[in-house]
Structure 1
Amino acid sequence: MPYTPAENRYEKMKYRRCGNSGLMLPAISLGLWHNFGGDTPHETKRAICQAAFDSGITHFDLANNYGPPPGSAETAFGEILRTDFAGLRDELIISSKAGYEMWDGPYGEWGSRKYLISSCDQSLKRMGVDYVDIFYSHRFDPDTPLEETMGALDHIVRSGRALYVGISSYNSQRTREAVAILNDLGTPCLIHQPSYNMLNRWVENDGLKDTLKELGVGSIAFTPLAQGMLTNKYVGGIPEGSRATQGKSLNPDTLNEATLASIKSLNEMAKERGQTLAQMAIAWVLREGGITTALIGASKPSQVLDCVGAIENLEFSDEELAEINRLSVEADINLWKKSSA
């Protein structure tokens, strides 16, 4: 049955200006890191994307290596663009990235000009689009001059492959250096994508949030739900079939007694606010406008709808923020800290 978007979709979402740019992003964006590879039925992927767009989510975030296998998320999304989202390209923000290992040999990862441009070309082909709206350097490359990496991003924009560029997981110092280079080249850095949630606050400790505000760069926080830890999924322990049991990106060791106790207490606080834990966690990331948009993942449409409900209450009292600080246990879940150095 053909998909017809909800007519009131733009009434359901809040949109925020991305840094000093003219681009508005939805307060909540959909990431295709998990559940869009070959291990998920295509009908499920379609249903998730439809639920997102019907809720006013216009931004779909991918990377070259998302799957499994690598590349399959972009291929699947390309099919959705051709079918469900046919004729809607100008209403969508599509982003992709390159930086992690994608193919064999010395040119298949990191930040060289050859890798970034080749990867961007491959991503465009997999998705069947002429350009992406945002293309990122997925991680800082300590062995390639930053001028080369940023120069490749500049070329990707000037050649029409992307409209904007961004960086992901760069620390505050590297962000300042990258932004300065891009400004000199005439292709400003639109956005930064760091991991950030109640249990992973490196962007605060590093000063990155303040740096981005000072530089006029937007931000999109990934893992705002700590890969599912900040949902009701783990309130009663670790259930079978959860990400923590699948041997993927969430190490079950992080769900220790202290963290589980913290999650349970935060869940009770969310109930007092009339929110689910996921909604409170997203609202906390978006509080006071410090983060432009929260990047969620979903394994089913109902999770998208739950997350979107967060925008109904983004306000916190000083007492609530202090209580969250007291209850939150910093978990060792920043898998990307080596990439930001």
Structure 2
Amino acid sequence: MVYRAAENRYEKMLYRRVGQSGLKLSALSLGLWHNFGDVDRLANQSDLLHYAFDHGITCFDIANNYGPSAGSAEENFGKIFHDDFKPYRDEMIITSKAGFYMWPGPYGEWGSRKNIIASCNQSLKRTGLDYFDIFYSHRPDPETPFEETALALDQIVKSGKALYIGISNYDAEQTQAITTIFNDLKTPYIIHQVQYNMFERTPENGLFDVLTAEHKGATVYSPLAQGLLTDRYLNGIPEDSRANRQDSPFLSVEDVDQRLAQIKQLNQIAESRGQSLAEMSLAWDLRNEVVASVIIGASRVSQLEDNLQVLDHLDFSDSELAQIDQITK
């Protein structure tokens, strides 16, 4: 059956400008970090992408190492894109990144010119795309001069392999340093992808100030703190949950135990707002004007359906924000 996008797909979604650039992003992006690897059903991946696009999500966030296995998220996205989304390419923002480990030897990670350009070429081949809308340096390289990384990213744009450049996981000082280089090069660097949620507020300690002063935007990953900022753990730890997996490096039973009292208090505020905790958590991220888009993950369509309800209630009272600060800081 031929996929045809919903005609009303733009009626409800909000689109937010990235800094002072000309680009707008859907307030919610779909991230392919989890659930899009070669261990996951392709039919479910297709359903998720279709539902997202049908509801105005135009931004799809990938990286070269997403899977598992590494690279498989790009390959699977490429298959679905080729079959279903080619007519809609100019309505989509497709991003990828380079910097984390991808292949053995000294050139398979970090921020050298060799790695950045080779990674971009590999990612374009895996996805079958002609270009990425945004290509990111996924993490700062402590051993490579920022000028080398910046020049490699600048070349990617000038060679037509990306429209815009972003960085990810750089701290405030590193962001200022590489931004100065991009400004001198006149590279279309517009965005920083960073972890941010009610429990992880490090970007408030300088990074958001740099982005605001430099007229750049942010896109946020892990807005639900790996599931902590949902109702999943309110009544115990489900057997099939991420926290209960012995191999999960991101969330543990101890993490849940330490945060449970806070989670329950936050849930009470969400209920008083007529929202789920997840919806309130996404709205809290979007309250910040520097945030152009919040990246959500999903393993099933119903999760996307729930998260999209955040658009119905994005405003906060001063009292609500003060209560959240008191609970989480």
Please give the TM-score of this superposition, normalised by the length of structure 1: 0.94
Contact conserved, 1:101 with 1:110, CA < 8 A, in 2? yes
Q: 1:266-305 maps to which residues of 2 (within 5 A)?
A: 266-305=266-305
User: Residue 74 of structure 1 contacts residue 127 of structure 1 at CA under 8 Å; is this kept in 2?
Assistant: yes
Tell me, in whole angstroms, the C-alpha distance in 2 between the residues paired with 1:203 and 1:107: 30
Q: How does 1:191-340 map to 2 (within 5 A)?
A: 191-205=191-205, 207-246=206-245, 247-328=247-328
State the AA in 1 paired with 2:26: P
Structure 1: any 5+ residue segments left out of the alignment? 331-341
2:128 matched to which residue of 1?
A: 128
* Residue correspondence of structure 1 range 135-214 to structure 2 within 5 A: 135-205=135-205, 207-214=206-213
Query: Could you tell me whether the CA contact under 8 Å between 2:194 and 2:219 is conserved in 1?
Result: yes
- Asked whether the equivalents of residues 168 and 194 of structure 1 are also in contact (C-alpha less than 8 Å), the reply is yes
Q: What secondary structure, in the 3-state scheme, does the structure 2 residue paired with 1:9 have? A: coil
Asked whether the equivalents of residues 237 and 260 of structure 1 are also in contact (C-alpha less than 8 Å), the reply is no
Tell me the distance in 2 between the aligned counterparts of 1:256 and 1:60. 29
Number of residue pairs matched by the alignment: 328
Equivalent positions of 1:10-29 (< 5 A) are 10-29=10-29
CA deviations on 1:21-51 (whole Å, 9 max, x unpaired) are: 1001011111100000012100110111111
Whether the aligned pair in 2 keeps the contact of 1:66 and 1:72 (CA below 8 Å) is: yes
Q: Is the 8 A contact 1:137 1:166 kept in 2?
A: yes
Contact 1:33 1:67 in 2 (8 A): yes
Amino acid corresponding to residue 220 of structure 1 in structure 2: T
2:211/2:290 contact within 8 Å kept: no
CA distance in 1, matches of 2:194, 2:314: 20
Q: Report if the CA contact (8 A) 2:228-2:256 is conserved.
A: no
Shift of 1:288: 4.2
5+ long unaligned stretches in structure 2: none
Q: Distance in 2 between matches of 1:225 and 1:12?
A: 22
Structure 1 outlier segments of 4+, above 3 Å: none
The answer as to 2:67 corresponding to 1:67 is: yes
Output the CA distance in 1 between the equivalents of 2:32 and 2:249: 14
Instruction: Give yes or no for contact 1:78–1:128 (8 Å, CA) kept in 2.
Output: yes
Partner of residue 112, structure 1: 112
Instruction: Tell me the CA shift for residue 243 of structure 1.
Output: 1.6
Task: Give me the TM-score of the superposition, normalised by structure 2.
Answer: 0.97
Superposition CA RMSD, Å: 1.1
Amino acid corresponding to residue 3 of structure 1 in structure 2: Y
Cα distance in structure 1, aligned partners of 2:45 and 2:215 = 34
- Kindly indicate whether the alpha-carbon contact (under 8 Å) linking 2:18 and 2:216 is maintained by their aligned counterparts in 1: yes
Give the whole-Å Cα distance in 1 for the aligned partners of 2:284 and 2:108.
37
Secondary structure class of the residue paired with 2:287: helix
48 and 249 in structure 1: CA distance in 2 versus 1, 3 angstrom threshold: farther
The CA deviation string for residues 249-279 of structure 1, in whole angstroms up to 9 with x for no partner, is 4231452433011112211211110111111
CA distance in structure 2 between the aligned counterparts of 1:180 and 1:299, rounded to whole angstroms: 39
Q: How far apart are the structure 1 equivalents of 2:244 and 2:120?
A: 33
Cα separation, 2, equivalents of 1:191 and 1:290: 10
Offset from partner CA, 1:112-134 (integer Å, 9 cap, x none)? 00000000000000000110000
Find the aligned partners of 1:145 and 1:275 in 2 and give their Cα distance.
Answer: 46
Q: C-alpha offsets along residues 143-197 of structure 1, whole Å, 9 cap, x if unaligned? A: 0000000110000000111000000010111111111101111103210001000
Query: 33-42 or 262-271: which moved more?
Result: 262-271
Q: 1:38 to 1:248 in 2, by over 3 A?
A: farther
Inter-CA distance 192–105: structure 2 relative to 1 (3 Å threshold): same
Separation in structure 2 between the aligned mates of residue 144 and residue 288 of structure 1, nearest angstrom: 32
In the TM superposition, residue 11 of structure 1 has moved relative to its aligned partner by: 0.7
Are the aligned partners of 1:283 and 1:310 in contact in 2 as well (CA < 8 Å)?
yes
1:45-84 mapped onto 2 (5 Å cutoff): 45-84=45-84
Code of the residue aligned with 2:117 in structure 1: it is I
SS of equivalent residue, structure 2 residue 45: helix
2:3 aligned with 1:3: yes
2:266 and 2:324 in contact (8 A); partners too: yes
SS in 2 for 1:209: helix
Shift in Å at residue 240 of structure 1?
Answer: 1.2
